[in-house]
Amino acid sequence: MTHVPNHARHGAPRLSEDELRALLAQFPDWRRDGDSIERRVEVRDFPAALRLLNLVGEAAERENHHPDLALTGGNKVIFRLSTHDAKGLTGNDFVLAREIDVLVAVG
């Protein structure tokens, strides 16, 4: 099984297709879209969406790995992860995906 690092790190290598498949199997709420992974979440209301975005923003700052974020319909949040320096997906994306999953779960 491919392992998700504990923390994002500068210069992380791009994942192979086999590594990506193995990691995506561990993250059933995430979908691959080219060189990114994406998760869509519907929360209770607009204030809950803003709280979630702020919490994810804090996690992203701690990891120094920043996702693309979108808020639509007042309560739908979209998270899109990719490592721009690697021009694709790295372990850093899955570090942040894991943190996002925890934040969504404690919602």
How would you write the pLDDT of the chain (107 residues) with one tens digit per residue?
A: 678 999 999 999 999 999 999 999 999 999 999 999 999 999 999 999 999 999 999 999 999 999 999 999 999 999 999 999 999 999 999 999 999 999 999 97
- pTM comes to 0.95
Q: Which domains does the chain carry?
A: 33-106 (3.30.1360.20)
Closest C-alpha among 106, 98, 107 to residue 43: 107
pLDDT reported for residue 66: 96
pLDDT reported for residue 3: 86
Q: How far is CA 73 from CA 3, 24, 45, 67, in A?
A: 35, 27, 9, 20
pLDDT reported for residue 70: 97
